[in-house]
Amino acid sequence: MKVDVLLGLQWGDEGKGKVVDVLTPKYDVVTRFQGGPNAGHTLEFAGQKYVLRSIPSGIFQGGKLNIIGNGVVLDPILFRQEAESLAASGHDLTQQLCISKKAHLIMPTHRVLDAAYEAAKGAAKVGTTGKGIGPTYTDKVSRNGLRVGDLLCNFNEKYAIAKAKHETILCGLDYPYDIVDLEKEWFEALEYLKRFRLIDSEHLLNYLLKEDKSILAEGAQGTMLDVDFGSYPFVTSSNTICAGACVGLGVAPQNIGEVFGIFKAYCTRVGAGPFPTELFDETGERLCTLGHEYGAVTGRKRRCGWIDLVALKYAIMVNGVTQLIMMKSDVLDGFDMVKACIAYRINGQETEEFPFDITEGIEPVYVELPGWKTDMTRMTSEEEFPEEFNAYVDFLEEELGIPVKIVSVGPDREQTIVRYEE
Ligand code: GDP
Ligand code: IMO
Ligand code: MG
């Protein structure tokens, strides 16, 4: 079978975790392919809420194999916290979870470097999650990184060399730090990591494909945070797009099947950087309050605005999306009207093409659609959808040219409506 890929089409936090959990019963394997603990994927079921950071969101649907792929950057301390808290709630992962030997390790000094680079940027800071993501990927690309597989041979020596390089940089940046306790915790967490199956995941995944197993690749972040195609430099340090799944798992492009593109019925962003449809008024506040738009892990307030179809079309294009999934429709339940940005006006000229630079001078061109003024959170089938909501979805499908396959009407696993059953 193929690898289906599910990924965010906006600036992250679209609801990927929830939908991966919902789709997992159809798959044999769930795997993360990039990013690290900068992610916070929320799942809700049976009255419980879980937030996953590095562990794939297929972990709760019993008996499925979950794999942390080579493209992921792993912080042993945060991984241990995550795995132990799952174990405490009755989910022992040691048999269900494998980790690629090629995944890079986030070192304590990577976290410090992340903070130091942000401090050095001053007002131009990216607003990173502070988890050492950028410095770890930098070391990977500059061939200075440490990988999970390094744990198995001469690790302390390799660690000392990598750490010394970081110390030199931090000295140059004149950034004070103390990692004595953190380092101790990190080494203890590495021992914990060894309890899991550390594998050559590209071999396993390709073997499973030959055995006709189905695989779901779980994206992290969103397309607009992709290091190549996002709102650079206000992006993360990896390829969040579909092609990232090939690189981050070691599967060939012809083995990619469906590409599920997931988006909120409106739009949010956390951290700094341009956001053309951002609302600074009461409506923005209302979206934030109704959508509980606060970071799953950091608690940071998310910036809110109307849906941006210029950016969405671009995201659909670079990912090759085959099916759309719309989240948080219920957040718009009480609005008299909803807006969608269909073009940007730049220097008086309208364009539907996502431009090189969205930092300044973008005026969104909106269309207004009637709101549905109906509580959708208890709906269980498409037949119950109000007319105005159907009109909104039809409008999106027409604009975007791709079917909206799933509509989410609340955070719980059950609050998910599949529109076209195969
Ligand atoms: P992810 O990073 O893409 O997995 O998304 P997050 O977990 O960071 O953020 C999505 C938030 O929206 C979480 O708090 C979810 O519980 C919540 N959520 C997901 N789907 C829906 C929905 O359809 N309606 C509402 N109201 N909340 C949702
Ligand atoms: P999930 O998977 C939302 C943002 C940060 C910052 C930028 C760079 O939950 O959707 P980084 O720490 O990666 O160097 O930060 O990217 N960011 C996210 N925003 N959701 C995420 O993940 C994010 N991961 C990173 O806020 O603007
Ligand atoms: Mg999130």
* Residue minimizing CA distance to atom 27 of ligand 2: 271
- What the block records as the tokens of 130 is 């502070």
Instruction: Provide the residue-wise pLDDT of the chain in tens; the chain has 422 residues.
Output: 999 999 999 999 999 999 999 999 999 999 999 999 999 999 999 999 999 999 999 999 988 999 999 999 999 999 999 999 999 999 889 889 999 999 999 999 999 999 999 999 999 999 999 999 999 999 999 999 999 999 999 999 999 999 999 999 999 999 999 999 999 999 999 999 999 999 999 999 999 999 999 999 999 999 999 999 999 999 999 999 999 999 999 999 999 999 999 999 999 999 999 999 999 999 999 999 999 999 888 889 999 999 999 999 999 999 999 999 999 999 999 999 999 999 999 999 999 999 999 988 999 999 999 999 999 999 999 999 999 999 999 999 999 999 999 999 999 999 999 997 65
Candidate of 42, 326, 409 to mutate for ligand 1, largest count of ligand atoms within 8 Å of Cβ? 42
* Residue minimizing CA distance to atom 9 of ligand 1: 13
Question: 3-state class of 158 per DSSP?
Answer: helix
The one catalytic residue in 4, 13, 114, 139 is: 13
How far apart CA 23 and CA 214 sit, in angstroms, is 12
* Residue 41 annotated among the catalytic residues of the structure: yes
- What the block records as the tokens of 347 is 């220097």
**Concatenated DSSP letters of 194-226:** TTSEEE-HHHHHHHHHHTT--EEEE--S-GGG-
Nearest to 36 by CA among 160, 159, 128: 128
Kindly report the backbone phi and psi dihedral angles of residue 260, in degrees, each rounded to the nearest multiple of 5, phi listed first.
Answer: -85, 120
* Residue 357 annotated among the catalytic residues of the structure: no
- Does the predicted TM-score (pTM) go above 0.75? yes
- Binding site membership of 270 for ligand 2 (Cβ less than 6 Å): yes
- Binding site membership of 7 for ligand 2 (Cβ less than 6 Å): no
How far apart CA 159 and CA 156 sit, in angstroms, is 5
The one catalytic residue in 4, 21, 41, 104 is: 41
Contact 381, 406 (CB under 8 A): no
Contact 365, 342 (CB under 8 A): yes
- Ligand 2: atom nearest CA of 222 is 10
Residue 18: nearest ligand to its CA?
1
- Binding site membership of 417 for ligand 2 (Cβ less than 6 Å): no
> Which protein residues touch ligand 1 with a CB less than 6 Å away?
8, 12-18, 39-42, 44, 292, 296, 327-328, 330-331, 408-411
